[in-house]
Structure 1
């Protein structure tokens, strides 16, 4: 037992008549002269207190109802902190010259202390009498789990073809890091040129301290919009540097952009000090910046809160990855520095030797001969995505001779978009195929091909397979993913406001049709869960609110839908209620989101995937572990689930989960 109180021990009572005249006999003296030394002696660390307090001690033993040996053990585990005073509010783990930031830190620390105090009193008063709490249990009790965890996982998936480093670009990056003492570098490249993979693989085993933030990760059913938000960027970056030992602030991170920005400035200052003391550099990778303006439309983009060069000390580098340097919202000082020629890097191409090695390791059947392999190199021009498309086309062609397939492949020209345009021009008059492509580009997450076959034109599906099959990747369960996000973005742009396919007013009609297709699916089909998403995208506020009920969310949860996805849908429904102004519906949505956030936390330690596999629900089991290339479970849980997937006859899935979680 540990009692902490600001009360003082009494000095007005008397616990014993023994002792010399003038010696204190009150409770405060008893604690100082007998209780504390006696308790310490029970632990074998100090002698008895004064003999004159024995009668008071024996009175306490009798009152407790314990045997003396039991009371001794109790005393050993009983700590009394009386007259306790809180430390002052001055932050101790942050040194800033900004008085406003210091005041905000002090207020945050005090608020958290009050919340912790209140939670402990609630726990003590509970009937179940909990006497021990783990860190995770306490964070859940306080509702602080998100403050102590990353908002997003910052691992980029492995490439879909055997990997070969583009050594010329890797050398350029090494040279730029050696040439500059710190500050910003930018790596530019066309879609599919391998920027993200190179930054991930090349920097993984360097001796420098490397911190990563990905503004975009492919194959996620949930939009990446939250990755582009400044508050999430600052939260994850500050937390990552905290875990590297550069703690700033005495309270857990909270969604306060100004407070997080001040902490990041302090962490950068300390990283500079560490570099001067140890010589170890820090590389902060911020990748996928072009996706923010093009696809995410955040409330406050992270580009607005990248530290200006004057705040980045020697020994610290920000390595940016993007398709373009025209980044709306980027601060002038940062934009100016990355305009310097020696700070700009351009993705090169795979060498001929690398392409030959990739083709060999792809294990195509039939295997291309030397002449066909040379043709693959010429057609791809060493561009990783163009090469991946060619290999995928050869793989999907089955036993057809490679030379015959390659004869119909468009050569790569500078940008992969040119290849997309060439294919588009061949089919743009095929209205049914164009309409199908428009819908596929707007499907949330993976494409359930069996579901699409229920409503799509069969002739259009056939032409999709024969003409565009190599632009997709098939999952073991039959679902399709876009091979690369650039093709999905191309289709979105080409089919938005296209008369006869979408509408001059936008693509709401396409989303509305997808919602109707979901509604027509059987009640137990997982695509039914996506109907709310499509109605929200279509601006069907009444339809969204009709579906966003606690009863419906609970039914989905019991059917195996991950709690995190349900929580996201509850939050997604809030703008629809804002249009209607229904305060009761608003309260229900907030409570629903909170309910499934709590369910998610409570089920963290439950092996849901293993249970679902045992019940034969393989798709639900996969969805509980990963959402495309984004882990839904924590890495340890995911690794533990790999064995269950292997035993269930899903070795490819086990391998993929392992790659994401390691």
Structure 2
């Protein structure tokens, strides 16, 4: 009976030690997928020696981890630390040799608190505990501050244990991340129905566990490989393509309309602008080509692919509010405007909340850096006319004019703005008149240039 209890206790301890490693690594991987920094991960890599638990690489750094976790009430002493130093230092050096162009950051993470009861000595004189050493010496060394000479025998002992030369040891200490009493990111199976973040983290954690347990014993997994295996490819791209390519040889800019459009950006500080014109007048082409020449942050959503009018993707889902906001949120995230620690997902309430946060960030960026942002939403008239099956029209969900901060413009393109689903506040902005740009027809000389552009084909 006692052997059965001991066995169960050992299994619990083992699982209790490994699960936090996988879960915490899942969190690191997730964050670096979100911020686009992740290049690859390595799991249980024998070449990494002691730092073999988990590794991930960005394009300039490699982070290598040794995780010490316990479900018992224990602390980490100076003796424990000293035994780990040569192992961590050797692993760090080995990884550096294999990756000479990248900065290698070794991490030693434990949920154990620092020991405040062990006794460190200088000769026979007690000078403090391990906790004292970390506070009074270790943190000061890492921030290039001086410390009391009484601790020098201890630092010399650590250097000797590391088996590194002076320059290596200095570099090692500057990069070495030692964290105690570590509080891991909490997520649970029971919350996956209510939290998309928990669901995502559970998927990554399970991915890691499966790869460690796999008989294939694969070690390295690329960013794209992880995304593909998790089935997340659609969360790393817009739903529809908004980078439309126009034949520049045939394109004839309507200069008078472009001048008026530019003047409206100067006249107003923010808010909606309305480009209006009849079918085939060149609204979408003008917005597309004009915006590509601007030195501003540009985000686009085309409710209709005017370059490929017969495309099977010109269907009712282009008028869906969830798809509009996902594509806008994603593009702004790619531009670095995103503060959430969760991958964008297709939920309208979530996306509208994030988009409003992004608008605030864009306004703050304008105040700080004078960087304006233009958000183009084109083809509004297609929604009620051709996308009648749309369940939640984005026309009803467009941001209110009062929510658009200084330095941010939303330029709409449509044949008409007397559309039933557009909010009254937006219609009032249009009806005011001073924010409307009526597209002019091509002048005679512009028509001739357009005709001449076809001469080379004959």
* Fold shared by both chains (TM-score > 0.5): yes
What is the alpha-carbon distance in structure 2 between the residues aligned to residue 164 and residue 200 of structure 1?
Answer: 12
Instruction: Please tell me whether residue 357 in structure 1 is matched to residue 449 in structure 2.
Output: yes
Deviation at 1:179, TM superposition (A): 0.7
2:138 paired with 1:40: no
How much is the aligned-residue C-alpha RMSD, in angstroms?
3.4
State the partner residue of 2:319.
228
Q: Secondary structure at 2:410's aligned position in 1?
A: strand
> In the alignment, does 2:338 pair up with 1:287?
no
Distance 1:9 1:349, change over 3 A: same
8 Å CA contact retained: 1:5, 1:82: no
Displacement of 1:27 in angstroms is: 8.5
SS in 2 for 1:169: helix
Q: 1:85 aligns with which of 167, 183, 187?
A: 183
Answer yes or no: is 1:204 the counterpart of 2:204: no
CA distance in 1, matches of 2:412, 2:457: 39
Match of 2:235 in 1: 147
Once residues 240 and 216 of structure 1 are traced to their aligned partners in structure 2, the CA distance between those partners, rounded to angstroms, is: 18
Q: Report the Cα offset of residue 290 of structure 1.
A: 0.8
Matches within 5 A, 1:33-112: 33-40=82-89, 43=92, 49=158, 84-87=182-185, 107-112=195-200
**Aligned equivalent of 1:239:** 330
* Larger proportion of helix: 1
Show CA shifts across 1:324-369 (max 9, x none).
1122322222222122201111110111111122222221798xxx
- Find the counterpart in structure 1 of residue 70 from structure 2: 8
Q: Give 1:117's aligned residue.
A: 205
Tell me the equivalent position of 1:248.
339
Deviations 1:403-433 (A, max 9, x none): xxxxxxxxxxxxxxxxxxxxxxxxxxxxxxx
Instruction: Within 5 Å, give how 1:330-369 maps onto structure 2.
Output: 330-363=422-455
Q: 1:175 offset after TM fit, Å?
A: 1.0
| Structure-1 residue corresponding to 2:411 | 319
> In structure 1, which of residues 304, 325, 340 is the aligned counterpart of residue 396 of structure 2?
304
TM-aligned CA deviation for residue 243 of structure 1: 1.1
1:35–1:49 contact (8 Å) kept in structure 2: no
* CA separation of 1:223 and 1:171: change in aligned 2, threshold 3 A: closer
Q: CA deviation at 1:42?
A: 5.8
1:623-654: CA deviation from partner (whole Å, max 9, x where unpaired): xxxxxxxxxxxxxxxxxxxxxxxxxxxxxxxx
Q: Distance in 2 between matches of 1:137 and 1:246?
A: 25
Q: Is the 8 A contact 2:90 2:162 kept in 1?
A: no
Q: Answer yes or no: is 1:260 the counterpart of 2:360.
A: no
1:358-437 correspondence to structure 2 within 5 Å: 358-363=450-455
Q: How many residues align?
A: 316
Measure, in 1, the Cα distance between the counterparts of 2:404 and 2:196.
26
Structure 1 pair 296/191, CA: closer, same or farther in 2 (3 Å)? same
**In the TM superposition, what is the alpha-carbon distance from 1:210 to its structure 2 partner?**
1.0
CA deviations over 1:182-214 (Å, ceiling 9, x no partner):
000110111110000000111111112111111
Deviation, structure 1 residue 315: 0.6
CA distance in 2 between partners of 1:178 and 1:365 (Å): 41
Q: What is the alpha-carbon distance in structure 1 between the residues aligned to residue 92 and residue 72 of structure 2?
A: 26
1:47–1:352 distance in 2 versus 1, CA, 3 Å: farther
Q: 2:132 corresponds to which residue?
A: none
Segments of structure 2 that go 5 or more residues without pairing to the other structure are 1-51, 55-65, 94-105, 107-154, 164-176
The Cα shift of 1:11 comes to 8.4
Shift in CA distance, 279/149, structure 1 to aligned 2, threshold 3 Å: same
Specify the alignment match of 1:274 in structure 2: 365
Return the alpha-carbon distance in structure 2 between the equivalents of residues 268 and 254 of structure 1. 18
Q: CA deviation at 1:81?
A: 8.1
- The SS at the match of 1:318 is strand
Structure 1 unaligned runs (5+)? 13-25, 55-78, 90-102, 367-662
Provide the C-alpha distance between the structure 2 equivalents of 1:52 and 1:313, rounded to a whole number of angstroms: 57
Residues in 2 aligned to 1:9 and 1:33: alpha-carbon distance in whole angstroms: 22
Give the secondary structure class of the aligned counterpart of 2:211: helix
* Alpha-carbon offset, residue 5 of structure 1: 5.8
* Contact preservation (8 Å) 2:82, 2:161: no
Give the distance between the partners of 1:163 and 1:264, measured in 2 at CA. Answer: 33
CA distance in 1, matches of 2:161, 2:326: 59
Q: For the residues of structure 2 that align with 1:322 and 1:162, how far apart are their CA atoms?
A: 23
Partner of residue 175, structure 1:
263
User: How far has the Cα of 1:223 moved from its partner?
Assistant: 3.7
Q: Counterparts of 1:41 and 1:10 in 2: how far apart (Å)? A: 29
Q: Greater relative contact order: 1 or 2 (C-alpha under 8 angstroms, separation 6 or more)?
A: 2
Judged with a 3 Å threshold, the aligned counterparts in structure 2 of structure 1 residues 121 and 354 are, in CA distance, closer, same or farther, namely: same
Distance 1:108 1:320, change over 3 A: same
CA 1:80/1:132 → structure 2, altered by over 3 Å: closer, same or farther? farther
Instruction: Report which of the two structures shows the higher radius of gyration computed on alpha carbons.
Output: 1
Residues 304 and 382, structure 2, Cα contact 8 Å, conserved in 1 = yes
CA distance in 2, matches of 1:287, 1:255: 21
Per mean C-alpha deviation after superposition, the further-off stretch among 222-231 and 195-204 is 222-231
